[in-house]
Structure 1
């Protein structure tokens, strides 16, 4: 049994290291070759493990869980964090493309341009910073004169009316959500009656804002 636990532990650590070596782009983009690499590495490594019975399966699963928790704990230690998780990588810094970092991270300029466009910027000259985060996502910060205009830029005071909470889905009252805004079914029924909705089964969706308690009702068309 100790041999089995040791084998599972070693192969799991090798797999984690292999995924880490594939780079952050493999986790974010998961192209056909990224998926193929991840799948076949897992298949070849763990396919060699022979599990005899339910007991070994449970022990193997528990071993991987404990290793996962141990690695998660180690990531909280700053000295190991950059090795286990990684650090942000600049793709654009002060408006300049860091071509060396692109090649190092196995990103093409076309891929970077595509991601910048999905962030709403169609001209790379509008971007001041672009960073590849440890989880594989790319954060984009525009230049000061190219960012989106917000109410604060215009010195406008906009009231925060709260988050819409779903209280009815396809005629079913969501009691837990009602409780989260300190309301009950009687209150909801009264509010619906005041808006002219007497039959729950005709309501497709209803939401209540958690601050001003504004009720909005949507019916099927």
Structure 2
């Protein structure tokens, strides 16, 4: 067999094996690696590179070595799921760099972090002053997670005593100019509704690169032709404005009439409309 053909066959075969090994080891292998996974990745890459380019090696040995380096990490992962001691040994623990607003210099030295390194990591987390940080920990994966001081944290609905309207994930109903039936069904919609919404925008589905529906049933689209401007959904603001106008008209009618019975009717309905507005306003804004 020619050498170049053998290289192609070995490369393809090991690529397939490596694909399934990585897939079975889980997504964690592709995101944040701990020490053991980092070593495993290097060794597996070296095995594949060696047995692809060195035709004097036995191809079966490459398969055996890959299987060993699959089952060892896989076994360690299973043990880590059941034992915290194994997790602490193979993955290490996080190291606190800032606690109660104070920098832990000894921990920085332990992890061989300089002050410049710490400041760089803080800037990566959008903090340019160490004094703004309440707590910071270096995770086993090497990522620094930061908790800002209370006065530097963004205000939430909970802080303001507000209860926001529930919102589900948006459904992608159009992709590359084609309607997607499963997301439409998940949103309790159909193609007739989609065609109607596109007609309102004066857009053909073939020109839609991406179309999404939010939890309120509003369709937003991005077109292949970026020169065309698409109007943003306005049904909810218009409905809210109509309700407020109706409430204002009821108040005006109540003030303009001299009939006490009619005045009481208008005032009662104005109050009911105000209550309805207060109940749905957070959903229509």
Q: Given the two structures, how large is their TM-score scaled by the length of structure 1? A: 0.70
After TM superposition, give the deviation of residue 208 of structure 1 in Å.
1.0
Measured at CA, do residues 177 and 154 of structure 1 come closer, stay the same or move farther in structure 2, by a change above 3 Å?
Answer: same
Measured at CA, do residues 205 and 42 of structure 1 come closer, stay the same or move farther in structure 2, by a change above 3 Å?
Answer: closer
Asked if residue 62 in structure 1 is aligned to residue 62 in structure 2, the reply is no
* Structure-1 residue corresponding to 2:35: 20
Measured at CA, do residues 42 and 60 of structure 1 come closer, stay the same or move farther in structure 2, by a change above 3 Å?
Answer: closer
Cα distance in 2 between the residues matched to 1:147 and 1:166: 33
User: Tell me, what secondary structure is at the counterpart of 2:113?
Assistant: coil
Measured at CA, do residues 151 and 120 of structure 1 come closer, stay the same or move farther in structure 2, by a change above 3 Å?
Answer: farther
Cα distance in 2 between the residues matched to 1:59 and 1:86: 29
Q: Deviations over 1:31-62 (max 9, x none)?
A: xxxxxxx9699759x85997412x43333322
* Structure-1 residue corresponding to 2:107: 101
Decide which structure has greater strand share. 1
Measured at CA, do residues 174 and 60 of structure 1 come closer, stay the same or move farther in structure 2, by a change above 3 Å?
Answer: farther
Aligned length: 186
Q: Deviations over 1:117-144 (max 9, x none)?
A: 2323222111010001122211111111
Q: Given the two structures, how large is their TM-score scaled by the length of structure 2? A: 0.56
* Structure-2 residue corresponding to 1:218: 222
Decide which structure has greater helix share. 2
Asked if residue 153 in structure 1 is aligned to residue 159 in structure 2, the reply is yes
Cα distance in 2 between the residues matched to 1:51 and 1:183: 59
Cα distance in 1 between the residues matched to 2:44 and 2:64: 22
* Structure-2 residue corresponding to 1:202: 207
Measured at CA, do residues 115 and 176 of structure 1 come closer, stay the same or move farther in structure 2, by a change above 3 Å?
Answer: farther
* Structure-1 residue corresponding to 2:179: 173
**Greater relative contact order structure (CA < 8 Å, 6+ sep):** 1
Measured at CA, do residues 179 and 96 of structure 1 come closer, stay the same or move farther in structure 2, by a change above 3 Å?
Answer: same
Cα distance in 2 between the residues matched to 1:212 and 1:61: 51
- Please say which structure displays the higher CA radius of gyration: 2
Extract unaligned runs of 5+ from structure 1. Answer: 1-18, 22-26, 28-37
Cα distance in 1 between the residues matched to 2:46 and 2:148: 42
Extract unaligned runs of 5+ from structure 2. Answer: 1-33, 228-285
After TM superposition, give the deviation of residue 80 of structure 1 in Å.
1.1
Single out whichever of 170-179 and 199-208 deviates more from structure 2: 170-179
Cα distance in 2 between the residues matched to 1:174 and 1:91: 48
Cα contact 2:44–2:69 (8 A) shared by 1? no
Measured at CA, do residues 47 and 150 of structure 1 come closer, stay the same or move farther in structure 2, by a change above 3 Å?
Answer: same
